[in-house]
């Protein structure tokens, strides 16, 4: 009888020790419902992230709201109209040629991305896998170009492009930007991480450098190449100063300069802010689409999990 009583007492003690607390019970219930477990610290972190995201998105939301109206200021939601927004976006794309500017930006960005990748892959291949005199010095010079500000070189670059007769052409918009020290550096670091045994095997099999690049290095670097391409596309899409200087023909202008041209549109004696905001919104769409599609390789490029 005494032994049975002790057994019950130990069982009750064990049950009371293992019983979940109030917070643990809530977490268990959340997990059973398929919801993430939330506690005070998690809720505060989520609230802080929500606040930060809201602050960052606020200018975009304001721009989108203004593009739905006829004036830059409105006092009630009833002043916003889908019909007015459709007219604003239609005017921006076709009446004020923003569609043509965006097409020019797209062509320029694609050419720059493809050209930069080709040049950078060959440069990284030579720096990593070939022996030639002063190889480290050459790589140091490539890195030093990162410290040369764009405004310092833009005047001689403009004179060179004008002397070559490249003004108002895609050659002027793209060729000066086909070399990138940042891309060479990133690809070099990635190539250094590839096992040396693969290189030795390729040499023993008689694989040439271009075949090694095409059939070994590029397939093993898809993530890095995709991430670098996203960065280069957004950089090229946001070009403003160089196209503004080298292009006089308005039909050859790019999207960022097109937004600047929209600032000159005046209606009823004031800047047409709804048109300007509509132009800004449509200009965001292509780089945003690229970011969404290639988000995973871009995060892998920066080592973000």
Candidates 31, 29, 11, 33; CA nearest to 21 is: 29
Q: Which residues neighbour 99 within 8 Å (Cβ) at sequence distance 6 or greater? A: 93
Structural domain contains residue 129: yes
Closest by CA position to 118, among listed 238, 229, 239:
229
Give the side-chain half-sphere CA count within 13 A for 261.
20
Q: Rounded CA gap, 291 and 110, in Å?
A: 15
Task: Find out whether 223 and 187 touch, Cβ atoms under 8 Å.
Answer: no
Is 185 inside any structural domain? yes
What φ, ψ does residue 100 adopt, rounded to 5°?
-65, -40
Q: Give the model confidence (pLDDT) of 89-146 as tens digits.
A: 999 999 999 999 999 999 999 999 999 999 999 999 999 888 888 888 988 988 888 8
Q: In CATH, what number is assigned to the domain containing residue 116?
A: 1.10.3720.10
Predicted TM-score of the model (pTM): 0.79
Residue 139: CB partners within 8 Å, gap ≥ 6? 127, 188
The count of domains in the chain is 1
Range of the domain at 221: 98-303
pLDDT in tens, 243-283: 999 999 989 999 999 999 998 887 777 788 899 999 999 99
The span from the CA of 283 to the CA of 109, in Å, is 13
């Amino acid at each position: 009888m005494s032994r049975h009583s002790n057994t019950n007492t130990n069982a009750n003690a064990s049950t009371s020790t293992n019983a979940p607390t109030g917070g643990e019970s809530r977490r268990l219930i959340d997990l059973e419902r398929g919801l993430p477990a939330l506690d005070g610290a998690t809720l505060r972190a989520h609230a802080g992230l929500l606040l930060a995201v809201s602050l960052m998105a606020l200018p975009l939301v304001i721009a989108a709201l203004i593009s739905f109206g006829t004036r830059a200021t409105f006092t009630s939601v009833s002043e916003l109209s889908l019909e007015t927004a459709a007219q604003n976006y239609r005017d921006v794309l076709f009446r004020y040629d923003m569609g043509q500017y965006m097409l020019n930006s797209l062509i320029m960005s694609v050419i720059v991305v493809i050209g930069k990748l080709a040049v950078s892959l060959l440069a990284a291949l030579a720096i990593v896998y070939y022996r030639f005199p002063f190889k480290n010095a050459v790589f140091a010079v490539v890195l030093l170009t990162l410290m040369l500000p764009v405004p310092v070189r833009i005047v001689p670059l403009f004179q060179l492009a004008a002397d070559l007769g490249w003004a108002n052409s895609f050659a002027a918009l793209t060729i000066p930007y086909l070399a990138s020290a940042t891309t060479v550096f990133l690809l070099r670091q990635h190539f250094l991480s590839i096992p040396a045994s693969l290189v030795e095997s390729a040499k023993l099999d008689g694989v040439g450098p271009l075949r090694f690049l095409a059939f070994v290095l590029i397939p093993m670097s898809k993530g890095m190449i995709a991430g670098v391409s996203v960065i280069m596309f957004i950089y090229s899409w946001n070009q403003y100063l160089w196209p503004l200087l080298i292009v006089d023909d308005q039909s050859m202008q790019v999207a960022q300069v097109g937004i600047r041209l929209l600032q000159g549109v005046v209606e009823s004696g004031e800047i047409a802010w709804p048109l300007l905001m509509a132009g800004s919104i449509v200009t965001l769409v292509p780089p945003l689409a690229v970011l969404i599609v290639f988000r995973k390789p871009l995060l892998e490029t920066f080592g973000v999990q």
